[in-house]
Each structure stands twice: as C-alpha cells, then as structure tokens.
Amino acid sequence: MSTIAVSPNIATIASEKLVIKKKPFSWVNIALGAFIQTAEVSTLGQPFEVIKTHMAAHRGDSLWTAITKTYQRGGIRGFYQGLIPWAWIEASTKGGVLLFASSEVDYYARILGASPAVSGVISGMAGGVAQAYTTMGFCTFMKTVEVTRHKSPDVNASSVKIAYDIFKKEGIVGLNRGVSAVAMRQMTNWGSRFGISRVTESLLRGDDKTRKLSNTERIISSTIGGALSCWNQPIEVIRVEMQSQAKAADRPEKLNISTAARYIYERNGWKGFYRGVTPRIGLSVYLTTCMVFGGDTLKEYVAERQKRDRMRA
C-alpha cells in the first residue's frame, strides 16, 4: 500500500483551514456585546469617562482637581453624568456592533491568510469605525456636553432638551459634531486593543500555539492591550475639544480636527494633548478586559451551552 507524503506546511495550512469556520449571524453575540458594554459603563466605566473628559476639556486641572470638581457638581452622581440615556444608548448598541463587525472581518482576514495578531488589528479597526458611524457619534457628543456644560447659562436644562435644541438648530450634523475624530479614535483604539491583546496572548503561549490560556493570562493580555492602546490620547483630546461646551474668548466657533489641534497646541503645548491620559488608561484597561476577556469567555460559554443543547435534542 503506497503512502503519500504530505508537506508539513501543507498539513499546517489544512489544519488551520479546518479551524477557521464562518460563524453564523448570531443575535446572541449581539446581545452579549450589549450586555457586557452596558454593565461596564454602569460600573466603573462612566466615572473614568467623566474624569478623563473633564481633564481633556479643562487642561489646566490636575487629576485630583478633576475628581474634586466632579464631586462638587453632584456628589457620587456627578461621576455618572451622561450615563442616562446617552451612555446606555451607546453601550447597548456599540458593544453589539463591535463584536459583530470585528468577528466578521476577523473571519475574512484569517481566510485570506492573516495571522491572529494582524486579523485582530484589522477587525478591531473595522469594528471601531462601525461603532463611530452608527451610534457613537451623537452619544459621545451628548456625553461630552453633559460633562462640560456646567458653566453654560442653560445649566438647568435637561439633557434631552439640549439634544433637541441642537437638532432643531443644526440638524443631524450638529448632533454628530466631532464624529470624524470619534471614528479615528475608535479605529485606533480597537485596532490597538485587539491587536496588542492577541500578540500578548501569542507570547504567553510560547511554542505551543494551540495551548488554551488560563483566565489570569487572558486578563493580563487584555490589561496590556488596554493600557498600550492609549497611545492615541491626542486624538481623544481633540475629540473632546471639538465636542466641548466649555467657553473661552479665544476659542474658534466651529472646530474641525485641524483647527482643534492647533488651538490645543497654542494654549497648552504638546502636554495638552495628553491631559486625561491617566484616567483613560484606567478606563481602557477596564473596558478591554470586559470586552476582550469577558466577551471571549461569555461567547465560549454560550457556544458550549448551545452545543450541549443540540446534542440533547
């Protein structure tokens, strides 16, 4: 009986192709993304968001000053400005958009031969852009309005009324002010988070690329990915400045990415682009742990449950 020799490379490729399967559209994954993101923002996520937004808008304030002023505005509730309804709307939609879009792009990137790290970067970027242009534009804008409007004459106006007034005056474009900066931020955010997390996972596996990581190793990967993704803080500060309601005599009336960057540099120099980076690192680590580690864990759990249910049927 003759034996056909198979090249190790061909065998490896064949093995990888067996592993890479097209995931069917799943409302369960959409719901999981919404649940994880809403839980994240309702706990530590929004306080981190409020503090880093305050520091990015008021670049002369230290971290302690930002915390003190936030508390003075409304006690513990002050740290949850913009949570209802804007952060909840954003969280309940963008998590699902991220998991769905990134999973789809990751599959096609792997099919085309991309490594887990490269496909992680590409899928993360695609998911981030999808987030920005679906729900994040107006939600991020209104959250920033809530944090920065306390010096405005209309301080007592409800958040929904302010949104209505902006829409009445400027239309949908006004509610999506700064969306281009949001898209740049989200693209670089999730490209970095997924990519760096996957690279870290690969390094932790060592030579055994098929070894399943422990929960501790996966959390470490998510933490490193979240922290290092904050290299794009200048984009975040520009985004906040474009959406801020804080008043200043020399502030241009209508800002785009270029004019906002010039204004920040003229007032605060290069350091101004990194205001709020400390609370943002905390936010990013927490968010990435929830979405990468938490998302992977919950998706695996649900897949196992569904598999067992099919076997019983």
* Residue 230 DSSP label: G
Predicted structure pTM score: 0.75
Contact 239, 185 (CB under 8 A): yes
* Residue 21 DSSP label: -
Residue 261 lies in a domain: yes
- Is a pLDDT exceeding 80 seen at residue 313? no
- Is a pLDDT exceeding 60 seen at residue 154? no
Residue 89 lies in a domain: yes
Residue 313 lies in a domain: no
Residue spans of alpha helices (H) in 150-276: 159-175, 179-205, 215-228, 233-243, 257-268
Residue 8 lies in a domain: no
Query: Model confidence at 155, in pLDDT bands (50, 70, 90)?
Result: low
C-alpha torsion angle, residues 299, 40, 223, 269 (rounded to 10): 140
**Beta-carbon-side half-sphere exposure of residue 218 (alpha carbons within 13 Å):** 14
The 10s digit of each residue's pLDDT in 186-216 is 898 878 887 888 889 889 988 887 888 888 8
Query: Model confidence at 12, in pLDDT bands (50, 70, 90)?
Result: very low
Domain that holds residue 292: 27-201+232-297
Q: In CATH, what number is assigned to the domain containing residue 187? A: 1.50.40.10
Residue range 83-96: mean pLDDT, rounded: 86
Residue 4 lies in a domain: no
Residue 310 lies in a domain: no
Task: Provide the number of structural domains found in the chain.
Answer: 1
